[in-house]
Amino acid sequence: MSILAVGSVAFDTIRTPFGEAKDIVGGSLTYFALAASQFTDVNLVAVVGEDFSEKHMAVFANKRIDLQGLQRAPGKTFRWGGEYSYNLNDRETLFTELNVFESFQPKLPPSYRQADIVFLGNMHPSLQLSVLEQVESKRLVGMDSMNLWIETTPSELREVLRHVDILKIDDSEARQLADEYNLRKAAAKIHAMGPKTLVATRGSHGSMLIADDELFVAPAYPLEDEQDPTGAGDSFAGGFFGYLAQQASLDNGVLRQAMIFGNAMGSLCVEDFGTKRLQRLTHDEILDRYRSLKRLTHFEDL
Amino acid sequence: MSILAVGSVAFDTIRTPFGEAKDIVGGSLTYFALAASQFTDVNLVAVVGEDFSEKHMAVFANKRIDLQGLQRAPGKTFRWGGEYSYNLNDRETLFTELNVFESFQPKLPPSYRQADIVFLGNMHPSLQLSVLEQVESKRLVGMDSMNLWIETTPSELREVLRHVDILKIDDSEARQLADEYNLRKAAAKIHAMGPKTLVATRGSHGSMLIADDELFVAPAYPLEDEQDPTGAGDSFAGGFFGYLAQQASLDNGVLRQAMIFGNAMGSLCVEDFGTKRLQRLTHDEILDRYRSLKRLTHFEDL
């Protein structure tokens, strides 16, 4: 079982109250792939520029990540810069330079076209659609998006959503997409758009899964030391879909465990700058965090 | 087992996007007492004015609430008005008229002085202290407070905290009290002030219990229809301490169950305006909400 994942690889410049980093390898797909590869094989589709050297490629080395689908294009790699407030809850984007990502045309190597799980990372919905058109068979389609596409390309977004099984977005974006503040009512509207399951992430408050026959709330792990929230939501998605890719059946009990692995990966990611924590992560550390989340939330039934 | 509870009884004027109410019986102690009386006997200490009629007293009728400690003073009852934003998450105080609450001197009837649990509701710390001085024996002291007392009477507040076992406050107030954003670090500082257990409520995100040897996170029940959040935190406290008052032992497992009963009472409270939902609540409905919270959060261990 494997994941076909498409999205952005970038150079990130990050400032938090605890430090800063310039031009480190990031992008939402990088975090997703590093997290998911702890559970399954990841077939990665993305684009980088000529400035993305062998040294930068090391971020993907010795992982279960296939790079046949990583295109190299003339020009510079996508760059993003952001700065976090003192409590890490608010983020200001300092700059966004799309560079080679602007003319990105995802192209699936033949071996990627029989996919188990397809994950459409946060990018222009027409690119997400073009990936789906190249897929010959799949078990499940997952998707991420953001306020930019909800606001600027609503009809293309709706077209993609028709083909999506599980939508993973921030709770604020779920509310915006559905034009409804109450998350359960928003989920019902989103179900009607296509995705039968909504996974809404809520930053330091955890995440919620809402389907017609399921409602599950997973609190975030309350860390004592957070360094950098960049990539936490993408790491959540990687843990969630990565765990699902391993499973023969996708019943509600499995989806709940996937949510906890998602929360585990998100909380581990923020313990260090950029992708550092994900890169040195062991599978035992992930299992430990899962068990901590169990202890954190368990109470006796009546 | 019983609770001695002191705090404010008031006339509330409330506006939410779903309706409004003028001069209905409220005040934090009213919500606390109605919620706690579902579990245990409540000995209530508060003051009302001459405008608090027999009709208004009906809010406490046929409940396990003893009113010997409810003083009637010359003048008008404490009045408060508030208006909620469209998503119910932000509240603006429209007016606060302390009236008879301004010169309130809590006086414990002799039968109240042997208490099981003492709950010091949100009010001036010197009044909280005077209640403690009148108590001859007790098993546990719980307390609520707010930003006003943290800012205006910090030394009196610190004096009360030295005698408190469990402090229940909003997470934002816990951060303010400890001058520390991270809740676990804030809890450690608050433990050093006296309360060995911090219960931090987080509005629609649930609540967290932090002690030296315990960390428990309880998500809020995601309602589809919320009417009025007034009194949700006080109802939480009533459910939490009310359940504890019933229990012979206060081990961590019992504290976790108390948190869930607190969340249950808070979520039930907001389903209707003012105290309406609490007044018509059955114990079976509370047990149903508890079981719903169990289903909502359960996942299999590894």
The mean pLDDT of B193-220, rounded to a whole number, is: 96
pLDDT band at A88; cut points 50, 70, 90: confident
- Write out chain B residues lying below 8 Å of A208, CB-based: 222
Question: How many CB pairs lie under 8 A apart between chains A and B?
Answer: 91
Phi, psi for B78 (deg, rounded to 5): -50, 130
pLDDT tens digits, one per residue of A28-77:
999 999 999 999 999 999 999 999 999 999 999 999 999 999 999 999 99
pLDDT band at B27; cut points 50, 70, 90: very high
- pLDDT for res B146: 95
B220 is a domain residue: yes
The percentage of chain B sitting over the pLDDT mark of 70, rounded to a whole number, equals 100
**Of the given ranges (A114-123, B83-92, B207-216, B245-254), which has the lowest mean pLDDT?**
B83-92
Total residue count of chain A as it appears in this document = 302
The mean pLDDT of A213-240, rounded to a whole number, is: 96
A43 is a domain residue: yes
A86, A219, A301 ranked by CB distance to B206: nearest? A219
B302 is a domain residue: no
pLDDT > 90? residue B89: no
A302 is a domain residue: no
- What is the rounded average pLDDT for all residues in chain A? 96
Beta strands in B144-248 (DSSP E): 166-170, 197-201, 207-211, 214-218
- What is the rounded average pLDDT for all residues in chain B? 96
pLDDT band at B86; cut points 50, 70, 90: confident
Interface test with A, best of B298, B299, B300 (most A CBs within 10 A): B299
Counting the structural domains of chain A, the total is 1
Write down the pTM of the prediction: 0.96
Residue of B nearest to A204 (CA): B205
pLDDT > 90? residue A86: no
Sign of torsion over alpha carbons B159, B162, B166, B169: positive
* Distance to chain A for B250, nearest Cα, Å: 14
Which run of H or E residues covers position B251?
Answer: none
Which run of H or E residues covers position B228?
Answer: none
Burial B18-34 (b: 16+ CB within 10 A, else e): eeebeebbbbbbbbbbb
The answer, for A85 touching chain B at a CB cutoff of 8 Å, is no
CA distances from B206 to A101, B104, B259, B260 (A): 40, 33, 10, 10
Cβ neighbours of residue A17 closer than 8 Å, sequence gap 6 or more: A84, A85, A86, A88
pLDDT > 90? residue B287: yes
B217, B223, B260 ranked by CB distance to A219: nearest? B217
The answer, for A283 touching chain B at a CB cutoff of 8 Å, is no
Residue of A nearest to B214 (CA): A296
pLDDT > 90? residue B204: no
The percentage of chain B sitting over the pLDDT mark of 90, rounded to a whole number, equals 96
* Distance to chain B for A19, nearest Cα, Å: 17
- Write out chain B residues lying below 8 Å of A300, CB-based: 253, 256-257
ipTM score of complex = 0.94
pLDDT tens digits, one per residue of A243-252:
999 999 999 9
Sign of torsion over alpha carbons B4, B6, B12, B15: negative
Torsion angle, alpha carbons of B3, B8, B14, B20, to 10: 60
- pLDDT for res B157: 98
Phi, psi for B66 (deg, rounded to 5): -90, 130
- pLDDT for res A111: 96
A37 is a domain residue: yes
pLDDT > 90? residue B118: yes
**CATH classification of the domain holding B158:** 3.40.1190.20
- pLDDT for res B178: 98
The answer, for B86 touching chain A at a CB cutoff of 8 Å, is yes
Domain of A43 in residue numbering reads as 2-297
- pLDDT for res A143: 98
Q: For residue B209, list its beta bridge partners.
A: B199, B216
Which residue would you say has higher pLDDT here, B39 or B19? B39
The answer, for A117 touching chain B at a CB cutoff of 8 Å, is no
- Write out chain B residues lying below 8 Å of A182, CB-based: 223-226
Tell me, what amino acid is at B175?
R
* CA pair distance B204, B89, nearest whole angstrom: 8
B216, B226, B290 ranked by CB distance to A296: nearest? B216
* CA pair distance B223, B268, nearest whole angstrom: 9
The mean pLDDT of B185-201, rounded to a whole number, is: 98
| Selection from A143, A138, A140 nearest residue A158 by Cα | A143
Q: Which spans in A153-271 are helix H?
A: 154-161, 171-178, 183-193, 232-246, 252-269
- pLDDT for res A89: 81
pLDDT tens digits, one per residue of A122-159:
999 999 999 999 999 999 999 999 999 999 999 999 99
CB A135 within 8 A of CB A108: yes
pLDDT tens digits, one per residue of B131-149:
999 999 999 999 999 999 9
- pLDDT for res A29: 98
* Distance to chain A for B15, nearest Cα, Å: 18
pLDDT tens digits, one per residue of A170-221:
999 999 999 999 999 999 999 999 999 999 999 889 999 999 999 999 999 9
- Yes or no, beta carbons of B256 and A222 under 8 Å apart: no
